[in-house]
Structure 1
């Protein structure tokens, strides 16, 4: 049902009740095709609009960056240097935001292969290297715990790696005190699970209900560089791997985000 490329012969039986049910199913099938096509079109429109907007903004951003570089070559007071650094940081945050938006919009319409064979030890080694660079920047103690016998699994390596790095970056950002983040890789009967724990504050009730929604962020401050795209991206990646994204407050404290994918 709902597959436009399939042609199903509309047959009838000699039983009125069966014919009524079949008629309803054929009608629902046609409605599903229409709804799915509308959803695909909406996603493509979103991706196109984001790409067009990013293209239009690239030129003024390039001009701004060029002018900042020229200003940096002149004699500046300490206050002017601070203003210049602030403007430069704002442009970098803006570029990151648009890059995240482009990645998310592409993910919605892409038809990439999620059956790529991935060697788990190598995948985890590359993930560990990238994650430690982030943790060092935030001065976070980072540990990896492996409880797996699995060597190979199927999925999309690039998107899965991006999703996990997004979660790890959030974990590093929200850890507190003597900052700690732990990545636990656990093999279950049907799923491969990535648990990411940090010792920051627990998720609020609102966060548990809404954190995977696009643009949601608990930080309501005007200067926040967190735009709420990362977890939405991770959720789509998990679903594309026939898995799920779960947020939890463990009894030991801190917060956990678990991304599971079908083995």
Structure 2
């Protein structure tokens, strides 16, 4: 698999080469044509001037002087009617003059005839007469000087630019790929189960943004892994405890000499532990369903006050057992919510209030109806919750009252919180040791 670094380098070099080829193509098609025309015009002008000097001077001094001056930039050659060279300077020639070209110029045609198709555009042939004889003057530029050095300079400049640009790009590409490699290595560490890995964030671009969110993701994964391990440990402990009790008392019941009173007592313990296992499995399944985001959520409009009254009636054995006094303030209130899910919220909150209230305690349930939201306040005057435990009561398997651990699963408030989140509602807790606890659920009315 090719790395991003290799791909970036390949793409850069490909783009540069294609750009150069395209640029030269455009230059040759439009720009160089204009240059050829200007060069040929210049060559014709030089040739005409030399012809005029040659025609009016019988001696060779002026002609020789002019040839020497022109040899710095131009190569001049004159052919007579027999195709012999009668005058030339010492300037180097780039193109050889063919006999057919000489013959064409001697016959009165200028060379080149077709500027667009001629193979040697940087050469001109000019016909002229002197003393009744036909001559052909061929002029071509000195390719070692002037404009024609620009091709090499231009090519060298482009090549230098390409090399410098490539080296610079290689360096920049390496800087770009370096943090990606670090992210890749960090990802491999996460795949191995190391959630403590972090990547350095010293950039403010997209890669820096990605690195920051990668660290956030890693931190959350670490917390989830910690929660998962704790969850598995808690589930194992919660299941193992009642199973141990059931197994132990079942063995005791095999004793034929066991008196009936103890036998009934042990059977009731087994029933309680079995019920506890049933509640635990039911609540675990409930949480798993709610966490999956696939639990049906079907909000409908209904009377909240009627729902809470029915829940209280259903739980009558719980509060009658402790002779609790209930104070209800439930004005008629309509809301739009998932009826079955909220019913679970009231059941769990009221069961907690009953469970942790003293005999003969007071439970108050109030609905505060407002235009856009309503609040349900469930308050007891029971044992209360310490300040350090209030922040943890919604954690799974956490129980503030460790002395009553065997009577609960530590999942009820976790289920409540999940259902409240699904309704985009809020839940608040106020409590003091020995003075009781109040839960306030704030629900949007639509």
Same fold (TM over 0.5): yes
Distance 1:200 1:209 in 2: 19
Q: Given that residues 116 and 156 in structure 1 are in contact (C-alpha distance below 8 angstroms), is that contact kept between their aligned partners in structure 2?
A: yes
* Equivalent residue number for residue 328 of structure 2: 144
Question: Who is 2:430 aligned against?
Answer: 248
1:135-185 CA distance string (max 9 Å, x none): 22443222321245x42x222111111111001000001111422211111
Corresponding pairs, count: 223
Any idea what SS the aligned residue of 1:221 has? helix
1:178–1:87: structure 2 CA closer, same or farther, 3 Å change rule?
same
In 2, Cα distance between equivalents of 1:240 and 1:167:
17
RMSD after superposition: 4.0
**Alignment match, 1:17:** none
Deviation at 1:106? 1.4
Q: Is the 8 A contact 1:191 1:243 kept in 2?
A: no
Q: Is 1:209 aligned to 2:391, yes or no?
A: yes
Judged with a 3 Å threshold, the aligned counterparts in structure 2 of structure 1 residues 222 and 131 are, in CA distance, closer, same or farther, namely closer
- In structure 2, the residue matched to 1:193 is 375
The alpha-carbon deviation at position 217 of structure 1 amounts to 0.6
Gaps of 5+ in 2: 1-202
Aligned partners of 2:324 and 2:359 also within 8 Å: no
CA deviations over 1:202-258 (Å, ceiling 9, x no partner):
3211221111111111222376211211111111111111112211038x9421011
TM-score (norm: length of structure 1): 0.67
Q: Give the number of the structure with larger relative contact order, counting CA–CA contacts within 8 Å between residues 6 or more apart.
A: 1
Aligned partner of 1:79 among 239, 255, 262: 262
Q: Aligned to 2:341, which of 140, 159, 165?
A: 159
- CA distance 1:98–1:147, change in 2 (3 Å): same
TM alignment of 1:42-61, pairs within 5 A = none
Give 1:114 deviation, angstroms.
Answer: 4.0
Structure 1 residues 102 and 218: CA distance shift in structure 2, 3 A: same
Rg (Cα) greater in structure = 2
Q: 1:222 to 1:112 in 2, by over 3 A?
A: closer
CA gap 1:26/1:90 in 2 versus in 1, 3 angstroms: same
Match of 2:152 in 1: none
